[in-house]
Amino acid sequence: MSCHSCNHDDLMKNSCISRVPIFNHLTENEMAEISQVAISKRLKKGELLFHSDELSEQLFIVHKGLIKMYRITENGKEQIIRFVEEGDFIGELSLFSKTMTTSFAEAMEDTEVCTIQQQDIHQLLLRYPTISLKILKEFTSRLHETESLIEKLNSQDVEKRVASYLVELIEGQEDDSMTIHLPIRKGDLASYLGTSQETLSRRLSAFQNQGLIQLKGQRKIIIKQLEELRKKANN
């Protein structure tokens, strides 16, 4: 490996550690110590980070790119359960026990991740107990998100799910823009919302015909009537 590559990996690992919520409260020296045990890994678009039913003994931190976590249903369909963005992490269950993974993790674009082995994490938890509290907080947040997703899939019709997703996107933006750029392909979005791409397209077209939104290309959506969209989401 060239020195340039080595320097890039060191910078990547330092950035990984400083961005992840369970570590970024530590001092620079403490985060530098953690980065020393991290290993960098690059994934091509479509490459799997791990498969279902693999032994999980690592924590994965996304430095750059996007990963989707999904399961295969009994009828063979892909059900996306979570998107892992830059600065986020997966494999947290491996921090406390050796468990088998129950989902797949696939890079949706060229992605860089940092990995930390279970035994190294255990040593860090002993040295910096505050990490455990951060992990517990993250567990609680993710459990709430999972319960919310399950409730939506079980109790909401497709129209309500799509409306809720659009409202969440627009409310999550930092500015007051009424323009949304879908962060993922419609096929992946349909999987996440528990429907087919055809049904998703019909719902979006129906919203456009009702004057609620305006579709621009494959991923750009202009929200025309946010309050009416909220009513559909909360109906």
- Are both 8-147 and 155-234 of the same fold? no
Distance CA 92, CA 211 (A): 43
* CATH superfamily, region 8-147: Jelly Rolls (2.60.120.10)
Assigned architecture for domain 155-234: Orthogonal Bundle (1.10)
SS3 35: helix
Q: How far apart are the first and last CA of the chain?
A: 57
Q: What is the DSSP letter of 114?
A: E
Per-residue pLDDT of the chain (235 residues; tens, 9 = 90+): 433 444 556 666 677 788 787 787 888 888 888 888 899 999 999 999 999 988 888 889 999 999 999 999 888 888 898 899 988 888 877 677 777 888 999 999 999 999 998 888 888 888 888 887 877 787 787 777 777 777 766 666 889 999 999 998 998 887 788 999 998 899 999 988 988 899 999 999 999 999 999 999 888 999 999 999 999 988 7
Nearest Cα residue to 171 out of 108, 85, 218, 233: 233
Pick the closest to residue 44 from 95, 111, 125, 96 (CA basis): 111
b/e 155-169 (16+ beta carbons within 10 angstroms → b): ebebbbbbbbbbbee
Sequence-separated contacts (24+) of 134-137 with Cβ below 8 Å: 134/21, 134/22, 134/23, 134/25, 135/22, 135/92, 135/95
User: Domains of the chain: which residue ranges?
Assistant: 8-147, 155-234
